Amino acid sequence: MSSKHYWMAGTVIAAAALFGNPAAAADKVCSLAIAGNDLMQFDKKEMAVAADCTEIQVTLTHTGKLPAAAMGHDWVLVKTEDLNPVANAGAAAGLANNYLQPGDKRVIAATKVIGGGQTTSVTFAASLLKKGQAYTFFCSFPGHNALMKGTFTFG
């Protein structure tokens, strides 16, 4: 009788470890990866995260060889309607500011600008996003968003 009781308890513990408990499930980090190259291209045109993510981590890898001053890439997330004004303000801000106007509140998330062979990432709260809103990710290096942009979907 008592040996069966302990076996049952062990099963409950194993199930909890396997599926997690509600407190742990409330914090869900969703990771996405994207790469940019020396041809001014991202390897993705669309990115999406589920609505139950609480934090989103985006890792950007520059698979090329050119330095940041010549072919720098970053990953910037904005509402689609903010793309052009943010990109235009950022182009004037220079590489020292990662081609983003300092303090630009329209920027939801952004990595730094990197050069060939480098990797960077940014983590941000999913609470900054709304379901149904159209978002665009892009590279803010001047001129790059002609090619380097895509849609970002939440939910």
Binding residues (CB under 5 A) for Zn ion: these are 73, 139, 141, 144
The b-or-e profile of 25-55 (16+ CB within 10 A means b, else e) is eeeeebebebbbbeebbbeeeebebeeebee
- Rounded to a whole number of angstroms, the minimum distance from the CB of residue 57 to Zn ion is 20
- Rounded to a whole number of angstroms, the minimum distance from the CB of residue 138 to Zn ion is 9
Instruction: Name the residue nearer to Zn ion (CB basis): 77 or 129.
Output: 77
Radius of gyration, CA atoms only, the chain: 20
The closest alpha carbon to 138, from 94, 78, 76, 88, belongs to 76
Instruction: Name the residue nearer to Zn ion (CB basis): 137 or 154.
Output: 137
Instruction: Name the residue nearer to Zn ion (CB basis): 73 or 112.
Output: 73
- Rounded to a whole number of angstroms, the minimum distance from the CB of residue 141 to Zn ion is 4
Tokens describing residue 88:
């235009």
